[in-house]
Amino acid sequence: MILQSPATVLRQNPSRDIVLVAVKQCGLVLEHVSEELRSDCEIALAAIRQDDLALHFVPQTLWWNSNFLYGLLEFDGLLLRFAPENLQGSKDVVLAAVASRAEALQYASSKLRADREVVAAAVSLCIRALGFADESLRADPAFIQALLQKEDQRVLAHASDTLRSQPQFMLSLIQKDENLLQYASDSLRADRNFIIEVVKHHGDAVRHAWPSIWMDHEIIQAAAKQCPRALRHAGKASWANRNFVMGMVHKDWRDLQRASDEVRADREIARMAIKQDPNALQYVADVLKEDPEIVYLAYQQDEKAAEKYASSVVFTERDFILAMAGVSVPPEWIIA
């Protein structure tokens, strides 16, 4: 007895029930059934749900069967990509597709990708879908603002780069929510004049600026003036800038610890910090911890702090010993 292959059996046995059971087990066997059964909506959908590649064996005419079409899109809206072009231009069909998978928007006609209702429906399910919308909508200030009122702020990340590069548009949004600066275009986040305007009202927003901005000590100072927390975003270039560090230390001696090695060796800055608190001696450069004048400045206020943080070498210096004994103290060593 010669055994027949499953494909032969399916071709010879027209039983609908057998075919339905078969495609539920292996969707690709749809290729081997009769044209009539491949045109059966229930059989075709069962095969595709088991393996979406079975869609290639469905007669084109079945796309016009509404039960098949909407059943297919409900299963996976991304299958819209295989639909005939005129169906990709049908608003009802595309709305059904994006309701299943928001990313199906990318397979809609260009006209529908510029349709506010369709795009809004897709974005309400998946913010990233905005990236598939027509450029005209992604660059429309009113449309983007309307989405921001309804959806997550991440919507702005998928707006047109052109729109996200417009200073006035972005500034109007950032004034309401400083976190939106992170969604401005790279060029705008690196725009010095724009960031200066932002930090006038939202100093800590500088954290979302382009990294090169963090190296600009003037911007960091302006940001810190509005919000002290902004100081934590200052880059190495700022902490290597003498004027910047002097301004920071003038407000709080503890900021000396963030300064570059070169700036921490600056005598004027060291004196300024130690006058505020003798414990600032711990943050000055090693060369100043051996400097009799600088150490004595700390010693006058707190002997223990001086002994703790100064180099042992300084305590053998003749001038320092005479000053500690009160025998001879140079005028410039005395705290004004």
Query: Residues 126-176: pLDDT tens digits?
Result: 999 999 999 999 999 999 999 999 988 999 999 999 999 999 999 999 999
| pLDDT digit string, tens, across residues 66-122 | 999 999 999 999 999 999 999 999 999 999 999 999 999 999 999 999 999 999 999
Q: In degrees to the nearest 10, what's the CA dihedral of 216, 217, 221, 224?
A: 70
Domain-terminating residue out of 181, 211, 233: 233
- Percent residues over pLDDT 90 in the chain: 76
Are both 181 and 244 inside the same structural domain? no
Domain-terminating residue out of 187, 216, 233: 233
Nearest to 26, CA basis, from 6, 11, 2, 3: 6
Are both 213 and 293 inside the same structural domain? no
Domain-terminating residue out of 233, 268, 285: 233
pLDDT category of residue 2 using cuts at 50, 70 and 90: very low
User: How many structural domains is the chain composed of?
Assistant: 2
Are both 325 and 246 inside the same structural domain? yes
Token readout for 97 is 């597709």
Are both 245 and 228 inside the same structural domain? no
| pLDDT digit string, tens, across residues 222-281 | 998 899 888 888 888 889 999 989 988 998 999 999 999 999 999 999 999 999 999 999
**Burial annotation 250-268 (CB, 10 A radius, 16+ → b, else e):** eeebebbebbbeebbbbee
How far apart CA 270 and CA 286 sit, in angstroms, is 12
Are both 330 and 247 inside the same structural domain? yes
Average pLDDT, the chain: 91
Handedness of CA 50, 54, 59, 60 (dihedral sign): positive
Q: 220 and 206 in contact (C-beta within 8 Å)? A: yes
Q: 66 and 41 in contact (C-beta within 8 Å)? A: no
Token readout for 100 is 């299943």
Token readout for 172 is 């109007």
Q: Does residue 192 lie in a domain region?
A: yes
Q: pTM for the full model?
A: 0.73
How far apart CA 91 and CA 111 sit, in angstroms, is 10
Q: In degrees to the nearest 10, what's the CA dihedral of 273, 279, 284, 289?
A: 120
Are both 255 and 278 inside the same structural domain? yes
Are both 200 and 280 inside the same structural domain? no
SS3 content of the chain, % helix, strand, coil (to 5): 75, 0, 25
**Residue 264 belongs to domain spanning:** 240-336
Are both 265 and 212 inside the same structural domain? no
Are both 194 and 249 inside the same structural domain? no
Length of the chain equals: 336
Secondary element (H or E) of residue 239: helix 236-239
